[in-house]
Amino acid sequence: MLQLDKKTKEAAYIESYLSTVLMVEELPEIKDKRLVKWLAKWSRYREINSEPISTSTDDWDVMFLRWALKGRVKAFVGHCKELDSKKSRLALQGINQVYDKVWPHNSTCGYIFAHIWGWLQLELEKPGEQKPPTELEQIRQISKTLKDSGEKIGEWVLDDFGGVQAIMKEKENE
């Protein structure tokens, strides 16, 4: 029979526990001690997990962090700094791991990263980071660039995260 090591068991427990929290708990106020406890557990999971950071929008840890802090991460960070406890420092450690992650700014990965982790960097006003252009802004910019180069757009493709691609019309033989 396969023996799971202590860290694997701990990670499985944390995932199970916080996935249940996500499904059954009401979102607590920033100063609720449960939120600090949950984010400390979330950070501990990030610390012992073999993957450095999740890359899927439906990973439980991505969904949990968005549920717990989206729109209020700055207030939570301030609260944790005021508390200055073991759990609050652990919670901040996980948040800082996400904050320190390099945001790939390209037409595909950039929008996915914005959805998964970039929102946290934006809320914490990370220097040099900005919200990606909206779909309309992208369409205007792409249209202008392609018009200037004489290209004709056949159709637009929108991804689920806000990215836009133009599919060119084939040029007729001259």
Q: What percent of the chain has pLDDT over 70?
A: 93
DSSP state of 56: -
Cβ atoms of residues 132 and 110 within 8 Å: yes
76-89: average pLDDT:
97
95 CB-near residues (< 8 Å, 6+ apart): 39, 43, 69, 73, 76, 77, 120, 124
Q: Is residue 165 predicted with pLDDT exceeding 90?
A: no
Model pLDDT for residues 18-37, shown as the tens digit of each residue: 999 999 999 999 999 999 99
Which stretch of 15-19, 71-75, 77-81, 114-118 has the lowest confidence by average pLDDT? 114-118
How far is it, in rounded angstroms, from Cα 116 to Cα 11? 21
DSSP secondary structure letter of residue 115: I
Which pLDDT band, with edges at 50, 70 and 90, does 82 fall under? very high
pLDDT tens figures, 140-149 = 988 888 888 8
pLDDT of residue 3 exceeding 70: no
Q: For residues 56 and 100, give the distance between their C-alpha atoms in angstroms, rounded to a whole number.
A: 18
Output the average pLDDT for the chain. 89
* Domain-wise residue ranges, the chain: 6-123, 135-168
